[in-house]
């Protein structure tokens, strides 16, 4: 499928999607948000894809936010609809059955940080700057930022970032628990690929179940979440890969997984 504002490359089971709108530092307009939803559906349907790395085109930005020139004249109803388009796109990303990795190569502000927060694993280059400047524009994060940020860093830190609009550097974002690692710019993509490759060695159904349980369980009480885990653990023993994985271990040979 062709995209106006996304570049898609697939190699060795890893899809790399680059948000590429250089004239607006990769800002997310409606078209780009619809393309994010479409690429998620396309990659989910492609059996050759088992991991996704998301990054920004150019040297300066991951994504500099939602598109301010598009939003400036919105009515209240248009604002709500735009938020819904963003939520739909990011929910589609979050629901992918394989890991998604944000390679934050520069500014990740507003909707750009929200895009990263919809990914499973967040890594950034030393020059990345992160923040939610929405309040300085007299709005709020509208693509899940108030909720996903809070779940990741807690209410107090989320309030500080959303209410001040402060832009923080990658080292501070890591200290806050927003990022897993901070890498020199020229090592960021290689690091993200290496993480994806380690995951690719594992049983695909186990990876999908692990992701799903952590996502769904985090919003449930512990008893209900643990019940989900018990059920899923049983399901794993109906897969060929479980037999292969344990037989390979006992035979002291590498396992070869089929994803079923």
Interacting residues with ligand CAA (CB under 6 A): 24-25, 27, 64-69, 86, 107, 109-111, 114, 133-134, 137, 139, 141-143, 145
CB-neighbour burial class of residue 231 (10 A; exposed 0-12, middle 13-18, buried 19+): exposed
Quick one: tokens of 116? Answer: 């990263």
Q: Find the catalytic residue in 94, 134, 197, 258.
A: 134
CB nearer to ligand CAA: give 109 or 161. 109
CA dist 98 and 96 (Å) reads: 6
- Least separation, in Å, of the C-beta of 218 and ligand CAA? 22
Minimum CB distance to ligand CAA smaller for 91 or for 137: 137
- In the complex with ligand CAA, which residue's Cβ is closer, 75 or 256? 75
Quote the least distance from Cβ 165 to ligand CAA, whole Å.
8
Is 42 known to be catalytic? no
CB of 250 to ligand CAA, least distance (A): 51
- What's the CA angle centered on 22, arms 17 and 25, to 5 degrees? 90
Catalytic position from the list 44, 59, 114, 215: 114
Q: How far apart are CA 119 and CA 132, in angstroms?
A: 17
- Pair of tokens at residue 258: 């089929």
The secondary structure element, H or E, covering residue 44 is: helix 30-44
Least distance (Å) between residue 202 CB and ligand CAA:
34
Residue (77 or 221) nearer to ligand CAA, CB: 77
Q: Any catalytic annotation for residue 114?
A: yes
Alpha helices in the chain (DSSP H): 30-44, 68-71, 76-94, 111-117, 145-153, 155-164, 170-175, 188-200, 204-217, 222-236, 240-250
Query: What is the set of active-site residues?
Result: 114, 134
């Amino acid at each position: 499928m062709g995209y106006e504002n996304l570049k898609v490359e697939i190699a060795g089971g890893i899809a790399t999607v680059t948000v590429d709108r250089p004239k607006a530092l990769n800002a997310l307009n409606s078209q780009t948000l619809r393309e994010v939803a479409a690429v998620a559906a396309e990659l989910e349907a492609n059996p050759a894809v088992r991991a996704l790395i998301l990054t920004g085109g150019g040297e300066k930005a991951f994504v500099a936010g939602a598109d301010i020139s598009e939003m400036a004249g919105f009515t209240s109803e248009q604002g709500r609809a735009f938020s819904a388009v963003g939520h739909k796109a990011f929910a589609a990303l979050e629901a992918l059955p394989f890991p998604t990795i944000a390679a934050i190569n520069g500014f990740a502000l507003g909707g750009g940080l929200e895009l990263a927060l919809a990914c499973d694993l967040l890594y950034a280059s030393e020059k990345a700057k992160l923040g939610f400047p929405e309040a300085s524009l007299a709005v709020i994060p509208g693509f899940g930022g108030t909720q996903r940020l809070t779940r990741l860093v807690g209410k107090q830190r989320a309030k500080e970032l959303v209410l001040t609009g402060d832009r923080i550097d990658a080292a501070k974002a890591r200290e806050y628990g927003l990022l897993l690692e901070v890498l020199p710019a020229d090592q960021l993509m290689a690091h993200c690929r290496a993480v994806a490759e380690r995951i690719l060695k594992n049983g695909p159904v186990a990876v999908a179940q692990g992701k799903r349980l952590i996502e769904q369980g985090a919003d449930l009480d512990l008893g209900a979440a643990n019940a989900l885990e018990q059920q899923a653990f049983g399901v794993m023993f109906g897969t060929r890969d479980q037999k292969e994985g344990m037989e390979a271990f006992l035979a002291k040979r590498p396992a070869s997984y089929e994803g079923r």
